[in-house]
Amino acid sequence: GYNDVNWTNPTIWKPFRTPRLDELAFTGVRLSAHYTSSTCTPARCALMTGRYTPRTGCYSDGGISSAWGLPLSEITLANYLQRAGYYNLMFGKWHLGNFQSSFLPTSRGFHHFVGFLGGGGDYFYHTESNGYDWWYNDSPNLNASGIYSEFLFNRSIQNFIYGEGVSKQPWFMYLPTKVPHGDYQAPSEYKKKYAPNYDSSSNVAAWIAEIAILDELIGNLVDALKNTGMYERTVIIYAGDHGADNSNPSYTGSVGRAYPFSGGKGTNYEGGVRTPSFVHSPLLNVSVIGKELSQIVSVYDWLPTILSLAGVAVNSSTNPVDGLDLRGLLFNGTANASAFYEREVLIALKPCSYSSSSSNNNNGNNN
Active site residues: 40, 95
Angle between helices 149-162 and 203-227 (to 10 degrees): 0
Strands 131-132 and 87-93: unpaired
What is the widest separation between alpha-carbon atoms in the chain? 65
Q: Where is 89: in which H helix or E strand?
A: strand 87-93
Contacts of 363 (CB under 8 A, 6+ apart): none
Q: What is the DSSP letter of 97?
A: B
Q: Which long-range contacts (CB under 8 A, 24 or more apart) does 61-65 make?
A: 61/95, 61/119, 62/95, 62/96, 62/97, 62/119, 63/118, 63/119, 63/129, 64/98, 64/117, 64/118, 64/119, 64/128, 64/129, 64/131, 64/133, 65/99, 65/129, 65/131
The phi-psi region of residue 155 (left if phi > 0; otherwise alpha if psi is between -120 and 50; otherwise beta) is: alpha
- What is the chain's length? 367
Spatial distance between the Cα atoms of 183 and 44, rounded to a whole number of angstroms:
20
Question: What residue type is assigned to position 212 of the chain?
Answer: A
CA angle (16, 232, 112) in 5-degree steps: 75
Contact yes or no for 46/53 (Cβ under 8 A) = yes
3-state secondary structure of 340: helix
Strands 127-128 vs 236-239: parallel, antiparallel or unpaired: unpaired
Got the DSSP string for 172-187? EEE-----S-SSP---
- Specify whether the CB–CB gap between 133 and 121 falls below 8 A: yes
Single-letter amino acid, residue 190:
Y
